[in-house]
């Protein structure tokens, strides 16, 4: 479901896949080849939400901001796993946010980073690029600037670009 809020409608590139069970509200912009999956909620009602190209927001995830303070900004090739909460934060390009993670207001996730499943990133945390963080609260574990780690992150993003294409074809044929 796509809904305007206070006269502002979501802007979604025509190449995106948005599942019919997803809810996208208000000041939301989604770049080309990105996808929003089953029962995800993207609420651009209190602050803008920007999702880059080739990114995906998986099942039951929630993106929301803090009124008059923080929106959500996601870069390109970002994978947001199932049941993630991104609240008023920034996620750089080519990141993997693991299932069930929570990233809070004014946190900044540097490019090429992984937030492990179930991790909670506290408000205002700044994560250096190419970092692996784990735990509750999240803590730095190691640098992941090696080629293999970066290929793995990109693989998840590319998989969802492929799923997007397939779902768009299936949806058109129904």
CA angle 63, 118, 33 (to 5 degrees): 45
Nearest to 144 by CA among 106, 96, 102, 107: 96
Return the minimum-mean-pLDDT range out of 5-19, 52-66, 160-174.
160-174
Q: How much of the chain exceeds pLDDT 70, in percent?
A: 98
CATH number of 2-173: 2.160.10.10
Per DSSP, what are the bridge partners of residue 83?
A: none
pLDDT tens per residue, range 71-116: 999 999 999 999 999 999 999 999 999 999 999 999 999 999 999 9
Q: What is the mean pLDDT of residues 3-21?
A: 96
* pLDDT score at 165: 87
| Whether the Cβ atoms of residue 132 and residue 114 lie closer than 8 Å to each other | yes
């004014």: which residue's tokens?
106
Residue 172 pLDDT exceeds 70: no
Residue 168 pLDDT exceeds 90: no
Nearest to 128 by CA among 136, 137, 140: 140
Identify which has the larger pLDDT, 143 or 170: 143
CB-count exposure of residue 78 (10 Å: 0-12, 13-18, 19+): buried
Q: Is the peptide bond before 137 cis (omega within 30 degrees of 0)?
A: yes
Query: pTM of this prediction?
Result: 0.95
Identify which has the larger pLDDT, 61 or 167: 61
* pLDDT score at 131: 98
Residue 13 pLDDT exceeds 90: yes
**What dihedral do alpha carbons 115, 107, 128, 99 form, nearest 10°?**
10
| Whether the Cβ atoms of residue 100 and residue 81 lie closer than 8 Å to each other | yes
- Residue ranges per structural domain of the chain: 2-173
* pLDDT score at 174: 47
Nearest to 113 by CA among 135, 134, 85: 134
Length of the chain measured in residues: 174
Residue 170 pLDDT exceeds 90: no
| Mean pLDDT over each residue of the chain, to the nearest integer | 96
The kind and range of the H/E element at 79 are strand 79-80
């Amino acid at each position: 479901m796509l809904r305007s809020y206070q006269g502002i409608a979501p802007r979604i590139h025509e190449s995106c896949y948005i599942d019919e069970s997803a809810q996208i509200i208000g000041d939301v912009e989604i770049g080309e080849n990105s996808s929003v999956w089953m029962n995800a909620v993207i609420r651009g009602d209190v602050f803008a939400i920007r999702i880059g190209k080739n990114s995906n927001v998986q099942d039951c995830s929630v993106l929301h901001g803090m009124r008059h303070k923080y929106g959500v900004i996601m870069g390109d090739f970002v994978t947001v796993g199932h049941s993630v909460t991104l609240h008023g934060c920034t996620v750089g390009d080519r990141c993997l946010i693991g299932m069930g993670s929570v990233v809070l207001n004014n946190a900044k996730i540097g490019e090429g980073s992984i937030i492990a499943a179930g991790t909670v990133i506290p408000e205002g945390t700044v994560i250096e690029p190419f970092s692996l963080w784990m735990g509750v609260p999240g803590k730095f574990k190691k640098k992941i600037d090696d080629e293999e780690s970066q290929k793995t992150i990109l693989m998840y993003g590319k998989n969802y670009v492929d799923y997007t294409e397939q779902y768009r074809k299936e949806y058109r044929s129904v």
